Amino acid sequence: MSTARFKDRIAYITGAASGIGQAAAVRLAAEGARVFAVDVNEEGVQQTVDTIRENGGTADGGLCDVSRMDAVRASIGHAVETYGGLHILVNAAGVGRMMRFEELDEAEWHRIIGINLNGPFFTTRVAIDHLLKERGSNIVNVASIAGVRGQAYNAHYCASKAGLLNFTRAIALEFVSRGLRANCVCPGGVITPILQHFIPREDFDQSVMAYYFPPVPGLMGQPEDIANVIAFLASDEARMVNGVTMVADFGVLA
């Protein structure tokens, strides 16, 4: 495998302060991409940027609340101004929290949808003109196996990720003739900061959650495992891969 698959490529990565977004930023930069990393966690973004630079890569970044179109417009504008273009968009920012449906209020519904679904729409809408300037540009959205199959106590999160899957498919079809690809990676359990919000409570009905878990109990992924998938989908090696839902879950959905 080439260690410079992304030479001369510019990547804008959301959720880059930790977890999958951070791992994707580090991985793409290690293979030559110039990375613009964003998150609402300023300290975490700076750590990501510092890590990339310490390892000889090129990175910049800053704060961006992806649930706000004005913030996204300013951030992507800054990224394009900094590096002179945009070739790869990775939407890794995401939030979630298990709860009973009766506990789910309007504010929490809008919070989840605002970041998990509106966020990728906003970034794609702002980035699309830049991405279309060069054939071979692409989008990788981080969804979840919760978007492929329903999960009890997770209605809001499932809705946001299922919407992201079909949003990605629609973009993939609309722009394929113009040289732009769009794909989704759907992780199962991965050890990231968000995982703490998906620990089933004692008052949940355990019988409706058995399918959550991998065939081998306790088998969990690392952010770098998903970064590997993102790097493949974003590379020219995947030039025929468009509109796919690539599952990485140790066989949970099998």
Does residue 1 belong to any structural domain of this protein? Answer: no
User: How many domains does the structure of the chain reveal?
Assistant: 1
Read off the pLDDT of residues 119-159 as tens digits, 9 standing for 90 and up: 999 999 999 999 999 999 999 999 999 999 999 999 999 99
Residue 254 maps to a domain: no
* Cβ pair 89, 33 in contact under 8 A: no
Residue 133 placed within a domain:
yes
Residue 59 has pLDDT above 60, yes or no: yes
Alpha-carbon span 148 to 227, nearest angstrom: 20
The neighbour count for residue 179, using CB atoms within 10 Å, is 15
pLDDT at 1: 37
CB neighbours of 240 closer than 8 A, spacing ≥ 6?
none
Helix-strand-coil percent breakdown of the chain, rounded to 5? 50, 15, 35
Q: Domain containing 19 — which CATH number?
A: 3.40.50.720
Within a domain: 5: no
| Alpha carbon 4 to chain centroid, angstroms | 22
| Confidence check: pLDDT of 221 > 60 | yes
Strands (E), 47-172: 58-63, 88-91, 138-142
CB 250 within 8 A of CB 215: yes
Q: What's the whole-number mean pLDDT along residues 199-228?
A: 85
Q: Is 157 a catalytic residue?
A: yes
CB 91 within 8 A of CB 184: no
* The pLDDT of residue 104 is above 60: yes
In a domain, 38, yes or no: yes
Burial of 178 (0-12, 13-18, 19+ CB in 10 A): exposed
Candidate list 12, 83, 153, 157, residue with the active-site label: 157
Whether 195 has a pLDDT exceeding 90, the answer reads: no
> Out of 33-42, 62-71, 202-211, which region has the weakest mean confidence (pLDDT)?
202-211
Residues 13-45 have pLDDT tens digits of 999 999 999 999 999 999 999 999 999 999 999
Nearest residue to 33 via CA among 171, 249, 230, 253: 230
Using CA atoms, how far residue 94 sits from 36, 183, 206, in Å, is 18, 16, 25
Any domain includes 152: yes
Work out the percent of the chain whose per-residue pLDDT is above 70: 98
Residue 111 lies in a domain: yes
Does residue 225 lie in a domain region? yes
- What pLDDT is attached to residue 198? 82
> What's the confidence (pLDDT) of residue 208?
86
Q: What is the CA radius of gyration of the chain?
A: 17
Residue 167: give the domain boundaries: 10-248
